[in-house]
Amino acid sequence: MFAPQLKPKVLETALYVDDLERAGRFYGDTLGLAPMAQDSRMWAMDCGPASVLLLFRRGATLEPVELAGGRIPPHDGHGPAHLAFAIEAEDLPAWKTRLADCGVAIEATMKWPRGGESLYFRDPDNHLVELASPGVWANF
């Protein structure tokens, strides 16, 4: 039986967007994420240690990509997706101010039974973005 020493962690999260530059500017200007790599079909945004947000131009990844090291199978997505970024609880007021300063409306807030709090807002492609403080999940 396979028994890994460590549980795998999410390394990449992908969103499919209509305009890469617009999405990259939103995540860069609003959340402070820096691009690590970019081309005509994707931007890779640095979310901190071992965490990457991949922004793919919708429809640009429907064919396999052949690279020197191997092949990336096709993928794509449609409709509004959801992703959450971990923040510190003491940073919640600063994030509320930051979003307002960037003209981003907070769609909803949630206070979780374990003590965490979430702020929900939309990106330019209508994806639901969440900023979540510790206490949202048993493991966070």
User: What are the structure tokens assigned to 118, written together?
Assistant: 């979430």
pLDDT of residue 135: 98
User: What pLDDT digit, counting tens, does each position of 15-42 carry?
Assistant: 999 999 999 999 999 999 999 999 999 9
Task: Tell me whether residue 12 is exposed, middle or buried, using C-beta atoms within 10 angstroms of its C-beta: 0 to 12, 13 to 18, 19 or more.
Answer: exposed
Write out the two tokens for 104.
């981003």
CATH number for region 80-140: 3.10.180.10
55: which strand partners? 15, 43
CATH of domain 9-59: 3.10.180.10
What are the tens digits of pLDDT across the range 47-89?
A: 999 999 999 999 999 999 999 999 999 999 999 999 999 999 9
pTM: 0.93
Instruction: Work out the end-to-end distance of the chain between its first and last CA atoms, rounded to an integer number of angstroms.
Output: 29
Backbone angles phi, psi at 26, to 5 degrees: -60, -50
Nearest Cα neighbor of 84 from 45, 128, 124, 126 is: 128
Domain ranges (residues) in the chain = 9-59, 80-140
CB 83 within 8 A of CB 53: yes
Residue 47's CB is within 10 A of a number of other CB atoms, namely 21
Q: Do domains 9-59 and 80-140 have the same CATH topology?
A: yes
Output the six-digit token pair for 9.
């962690």
Taking the C-alpha atoms of residue 96 and residue 128, their distance in angstroms, rounded to an integer, is: 16
Task: Give me the residues paired with residue 110 across strands.
Answer: 118
